Structures are given as structure tokens and as C-alpha cells.
Amino acid sequence: MRIIVFFDLPAETQTDRRNYSKFRKMLIKNGFMMLQESVYCRMVLNATAEHSVIENIKKNKPESGLVQILSVTEKQFSRMELITGEFKSSVLDSDERLVVL
């Protein structure tokens, strides 16, 4: 399962920029990867983990702006179509299990 967070936060004042940076760093610290600017994604194993992550986001939400969360299954996420550009990631981003003996 994937959790996708979309956010549009104001960056007009120094406080707004600080809140933006704090929220973005919280997402990264909690295992989110950037898909696009202001769109972050994280894999979770089950609904319990999903609920925990969403509650953490709600607890750390910025004072102003728009934050949206979308949960999709791995199958739905894998059907995402890239229209232009290409997806680049240096992070292993898969639900496959790796066993090294």
C-alpha cells in the first residue's frame, strides 16, 4: 500500500518558509520519497501502519496551507502512467522481499 501526500503551503513570510521546511523534513524523516515537487510517497505494509502514518502527518500539519493524503494499493500505484519525462530514483522502492544468504 502507498500513501501519497500532496501539499500546497504558503511561502510568503519567513515563518511560512520555516513551516514548509519543517513539514517537508518531517515527511523525509518518516520515510517519504519525493515523486514531484510537493508530492511525496511512502510504502506501508498494512492498514494499521497506514493509520499510524496518517495520524503522525495530522499531528505535524502546518498551521496554514493545503495538505491532502491519498492511499492506494501497490497494484493501483503500479498502473500510474508517465506521460512525459522519466522516473529516477536511487532508492530501492519495491515491496519485493530480498533475501541474501
Order of strands across the sheet that contains 2-8: 33-36, 39-43, 2-8, 66-72
* Average pLDDT for 22-39: 94
* Average pLDDT for 81-95: 67
Q: Which helix (H) or strand (E) holds 23?
A: helix 14-29
**Mean pLDDT rounded to a whole number for the chain:** 87
Look up the domain containing 9 and give its range: 2-78
Sign of the alpha-carbon torsion through 72, 24, 6, 78: negative
- State the total domains in the chain: 1
Q: Residue 90 domain-assigned?
A: no
Q: What is the CATH number of the domain that holds 48?
A: 3.30.70.240
Q: Residue 95 domain-assigned?
A: no
Q: What angle do CA 70, 73, 79 make, to 5 degrees?
A: 95
pLDDT in tens, 34-66: 998 999 999 999 999 999 999 999 999 998 999
